[in-house]
Structure 1
Amino acid sequence: MTARIREINFFLRDYVNLDATRTKTLHSRVAAVNNFLASHSGLDDLVVGDVIPQGSFAHKTIIRPFTGNDFDADVLVPMAEQGGWEPKHYTQALHKALQSCARYSDKAVLGKRCVKLDYAGDFHIDLVPFVTRDDGNTYITHRTRNEFIRQDPVAYTSWFEDNNRTTHGHLVRVVRLMKYLRDRSSIDVPSVVLSALLAERVRSFAGVNEYDNVATSLTSLVKALHDYLDPMSTPPWVDDRIGQNLADRLTQSGFDNLKSQLSTWSKLMVAALEADADESVEKWRKLFGDSFGSAVRKTSESGALTASAYSYYEKAPAPGEQDLLRDHGIRTNLDPSHRVRVAGRVSPNRKGVGRYRPLGGRGNLVPLGRSLRFTIEDCTVEKPFHVYWKVRNAGEEAARRKMFRGEIRKLGEQITESSSFHGEHWVEAWIVKDGVAVARDRQEVTILPD
């Protein structure tokens, strides 16, 4: 078996992932509009918390546009229900506020379900009113039909994040690679449907090696999806996590083409993964094209690997980062019968007022200056046990400040942190019983720039 992990990581970096510059720009502009909405006096009683990323933005599955330069990111604007208001009034109020600002007046476009901020030639941000009504349920609004539409994208994002954790973070990369293949094929399948179908194939009781790396995860999930869809003559029900069907967006011809491509792709993936080392690159190129593997050759010819090229995926150790065995004398022997979840929650605004919200429901994206709590939950290890925690920072700002952290500390079942500076971060916890780490989990955190 030849997974070609290194080559796949470089292929993602150079041909699939949204580049770092555009990602940072997107994050900066979402943070800016969030700050504007929070400070606008006309929205004081209407907007009740930070904007909430949704869709491919929340799931981190945005990829480089295949044609043109434009892509979109969706965010929910949490709003309190207003007495006497019709559904259209929420979108109109949001549009009016943005029109009052010189920065946004020429970018704000009133849509049916959102206000679009159009950054011409680059990307656009769709701001979607997200109203919690007196019945306790959440809705988006349709302005032209003047109706509330029952939706809960936060529940969907939380579910997707849970499945991504089960695959050790590889589900996100699988979805990106599949969107790359989709864009270069005859398939017409919406991203949310493709992502949900793949996430539904994740098995929490998977074999030890099934989600060990991106190549095995890709092959396993695509083959499972092919096996699931192949006997069907019509699109299946795809749950949006509140009992509504996402697959009503998939046409019959789109479904038929998807089945056909899955048959081809799954065979190519299995052949590439099972190939000998000297044949594996050519096998993967039959799937991804001739550019696969080229960046690795160029890098090795130049004599060095840049830190950003590899460590983002494999979490390479930072200077001074501690190791559980080396620095604490605790060996790791993860027991498949044990599980634990590190549950991160964030304050709803800069003041820290209000109920803390789960990070998973907002794609682990957090504005600056928020309080964060990380709690041990769903732990099946019988007490007594000890919890060892590690907080790690990454990215340019962490390097500039020389604040990668990475120390391991024995603490209680909850720790508190703050979102101090932009970058990728993660919090890891080990459950240690009788001197052995028997369970482990990690919570990712992306802090947006100011």
Structure 2
Amino acid sequence: MKLISQFRSFLNDTVNLNRTRLNALETNVSALTNFVRQCDWAPEIIRFYPQGSWAHDTIIKPLHGAEFDADLLVLVEPVDNWTAADYVKSLGQAFSDSATYGDKAKTWDYCVTITYVGDRQVDIAPCVVGRLIPDRYEVCNRGADLFERSEPMLFTEWLKEQNGYSGSNSFRKVTRLLKYLRDIKTTFTCPSVLLTTLLANQIYWTDKESDAFADVPTTLKTVMGRLDDWLQARPHKPVVSNPHLASEDLAASWTEAQYSNFRNFINKYRNWIDEAYDEEDRARSIAAWRRIFGDEFAKGESVLTKASADESKSLVSNLLASTAAHLDGLVDAVASFGVAILPRTFFSPPHMQAPPWPKADSFSQNVQVVAIWQSSKDAMSGRRLQQEESLSRSGGIWFDVTVNNGQSLPEGYRVQWRITNTGAMAMALGQGRGGFNPAMTGNRRWESLRYRGVHIAEAFIIRRSDDRLVGQSAPFLVIIE
């Protein structure tokens, strides 16, 4: 089960770096850039440029007691007769001599790190522009005293482009989820830039507006499936090139053993994700997602035991009535525990009409309902709904139909919609519909959201030549709170 709202809350409350920390980071960076501009560091500064997870918007909240890192490039003009080591050493010296930063600064091979105790670090790395070739970027390796070519801006733009193909920012969200998984499980080693690249490589321009990237859990399933397939086809450590700098192997720091371990665990987690996604029982799905992401996922929601599941079904049977004028409590129960608690009789209330068309010899159930919520019938845009998604009594839904897992209905066929209302409000107002309605535009039909209840939409495909029923969709449930 997708549990889209639970993923949204999990990201916001547990995974994403919170706004307070981001504000503090931005304040620190502003002060650091002012310091570098005003100190007596010799290079002429062109500009500052964020890089890494901060720039890629994949930064996550550190685990308890840990620090998070932010990377900042300072782009500079070349200084005559300076070696690569000179840029890093002189920047480190400027910070060490400062009364403000002297006890916070440490110089490494590529950068100077400013540590704000117990919370965050900012790494400032010199990057020389146009030293030998115009517009070529080179970072400085103090240890080896070498200039090393880099393409930080193009790499960041590539990630933004890949995220754009995924839709709804889902690539960035999935990257954060998998970095969180890496950090809480500690079962595999993979640097963030390498992990982000491996994931981004699984997205293609043809994926734009694809159902495979419709939401966060679906994107997670798609990307992990593709990554696992890619890894399983490569039993030995591959080269993972920077897409804009082929000479840079981002997997160079991996050992063969680390790669093998990573490959095995991605396969394991891919299978766990598939199981959690495909599990139709809400409680069991929550338990399956928690096996992957820990108890913070869907925090506060109880995972039903068999006994409590039986109790919920008993509650539902008490709420149902033969007229389908069920009590409002049924809506709350279904919203909390999922449609699995509904008995089969719920899907065939007495006022639901039987199809009047004779069934063809060849009959298909490979018919899918597509539901798009819009604020009004003529709104310019909307969003695709998922099964079991709870909605408020506002706007409405355009229902459409596909066959054979996404194909359009061919010529020579028409669709009839059976819309069945349930719930005390609809029944009391005489709106207990259960009959058939024609499409309005093409194969689509508009239904407004008025009555609290658990309602049913189904598509029936009729062959025009002999008026026979050739296909029927599974029920699409609309839960209106």
Give the TM-score taking structure 2 as reference length: 0.59
Corresponding residue for residue 45 of structure 2: 47
Decide whether the 8 Å contact of 2:96 with 2:102 is kept in 1: yes
Hey, what does 2:219 align to over in structure 1?
217
Gap runs ≥5 in structure 2: 303-373, 384-481
Q: Map of 1:227-306 to 2, 5 A cutoff?
A: 227-240=229-242, 241-243=244-246, 244-278=248-282, 279-295=284-300
Give the structure 2 partner of residue 56 of structure 1. Answer: 53
Query: Deviations 1:153-176 (Å, cap 9, x if unpaired)?
Result: 222111111111111211111111
Partner of residue 150, structure 2: 151
How far 1:3 moved relative to its partner? 1.5
% of aligned pairs identical?
30
What is the match of residue 160 of structure 2? 161
Contact 1:202/1:221 (CA < 8 Å) preserved in 2? Answer: yes
Q: One-letter code of the match for 1:150?
A: R
| Deviant stretches of 4+, over 6 Å | none
Query: In 2, are the aligned partners of 1:72 and 1:126 still within 8 Å (CA)?
Result: yes
Q: Is the 8 A contact 1:17 1:176 kept in 2?
A: yes
Relative contact order (alpha carbons < 8 A, sep ≥ 6): 1 or 2 greater? 1
Cα distance, 1:54 vs structure 2 = 1.0
Does the C-alpha gap of structure 1 residues 91 and 215 become closer, same or farther in structure 2, counting only changes over 3 Å?
A: same
RMSD: 2.4
Query: Is residue 84 from structure 1 mapped to residue 81 from structure 2 by the alignment?
Result: yes
Q: Decide whether aligned partners of structure 1 residues 179 and 333 sit closer, same or farther in structure 2, where only a CA change above 3 A counts.
A: closer
> How many angstroms does 1:197 deviate by?
0.4
Distance 2:62 2:264 in 1: 24
> Per the alignment, do residues 296 and 205 of structure 1 end up closer, same or farther by CA in structure 2, a change over 3 Å counting?
farther
- More divergent stretch after superposition (152-161 vs 276-285): 276-285
Find the counterpart in structure 1 of residue 338 from structure 2: none
Quick check: 2:115–2:121 contact (8 Å CA) kept in 1? yes
Q: Determine the structure 2 residue equivalent to 1:387.
A: none
**Paired positions, count:** 303
Instruction: Give runs of aligned pairs for residues 42-441 of structure 1, distance below 5 A.
Output: 42-43=40-41, 46-49=44-47, 51-66=48-63, 68-132=65-129, 133-136=131-134, 137-168=136-167, 169-183=169-183, 184-206=185-207, 208-240=210-242, 241-243=244-246, 244-278=248-282, 279-295=284-300, 331-332=380-381
CA contact (8 A) 2:92 2:112 kept: yes
Name whichever of 264-273 and 224-233 sits farther off. 264-273
Q: Secondary structure at the match of 1:233?
A: coil
Opposite residue 331 of structure 1, the aligned amino acid is M
In 2 relative to 1, CA 216–47 (structure 1 residues): closer, same or farther, beyond 3 Å? same
Deviations 1:152-204 (A, max 9, x none): 22221111111111112111111111112212142012111111100000122
* Structure 1 residues 291 and 274, CA gap change in structure 2 (3 angstroms): same
Deviation for aligned residue 1:103:
2.0
Instruction: Measure, in 1, the Cα distance between the counterparts of 2:77 and 2:234.
Output: 43
Cα contact 1:11–1:295 (8 A) shared by 2: no
**2 CA distance for matches of 1:34 and 1:10?**
34
* CA distance in 1 between partners of 2:12 and 2:102 (Å): 35
Which digits, 9 at most, give the CA deviation of each residue in 1:284-341, with x for residues without a partner? 12222233111568xxxxxxxxxxxxxxxxxxxxxxxxxxx989x773599xxxxxxx
TM-score under structure 1 length normalisation: 0.63
How far apart are 1:131 and its partner, in Å? 0.6
Unpaired segments ≥5 residues, structure 1? 298-324, 335-450
